[in-house]
Amino acid sequence: MIDHEAGHLALRTQLVAISGLPSARAWENKDFTPTAGTPYIADQYVPATHRLLTTMAQGGSAVETGLYVIQWFGLKGSGISAIRTGAAAILAAFAPGSSFATTAGDTIRVRTDTAPVPGQILPLDKGWAVCTTKIPWQAYSHNVVAT
């Protein structure tokens, strides 16, 4: 099994390197109070499946999949340009086939059989609108059976 904290941080490192990203960030499971009129970014790391690929359980190859969800909270009623430009920058940073090394020695790859997609811009209350980009990832690991 990969180190998911390290995996999340590797993806987040790639995210924050994007030029033009809002400086306000609502990171997963951290308290955050948005400021009216100030766009912000939120992320969620969502592990999904873990499957053994080989018949050797101990030390066998396994593949894990999941989603990295990035939400760009922009300003409602200000048009689509800023949010769509941001979503396009996110897509460029997480192109299919991109790989990111983690501090734990794992490698997270953006899947190529299904690609990252930005969603519809949804209007929200209190002057916000959001665009959610979902990045499907996979990572290979060596299975460890507790003895």
Partner 1 sequence: MTDFADQMRAFSLKVETKSAAVFANVVSATQGSITDGSPVTGAPGQPVDTGNLKASWHTDFESPSSALISTNVEYAQYIEDGVVAVGSRRGNVTGGTLQRLTLRSAVGGFHSVAQTVAGFPAIVADEVAKAGAP
Residues that bind partner 1 (CB under 8 A): 26, 33-34, 42, 44, 46-49, 51, 65-67, 69, 71, 73, 111, 113-114, 119-120, 122-126, 128, 130, 132, 134, 136
Q: Left (φ > 0), alpha (ψ -120 to 50) or beta: where does 57 sit?
A: alpha
Q: Are 130 and 122 in contact (CB under 8 A)?
A: yes
Contact between 115 and 96 under an 8 Å Cβ cutoff? The reply is yes
CA 1/CA 23 separation, integer angstroms: 33
Cβ distance to partner 1 smaller for residue 48 or 80: 48
Provide the minimum distance between the beta carbon of 29 and partner 1 in the complex, in angstroms, as a whole number. 11
**Of 143, 1, 124, residue with least CA distance to 58:** 143
CB of 130 to partner 1, least distance (A): 5
Nearest-approach distance from CB 106 to partner 1, in angstroms = 18
CB nearer partner 1, residue 16 or residue 124: 124
Q: Which residue's CB is nearer to partner 1, number 47 or number 60?
A: 47
The helix (run of H) or strand (run of E) holding residue 108 is strand 107-110
We find the least distance from the C-beta atom of residue 48 to partner 1, in angstroms, to be: 3
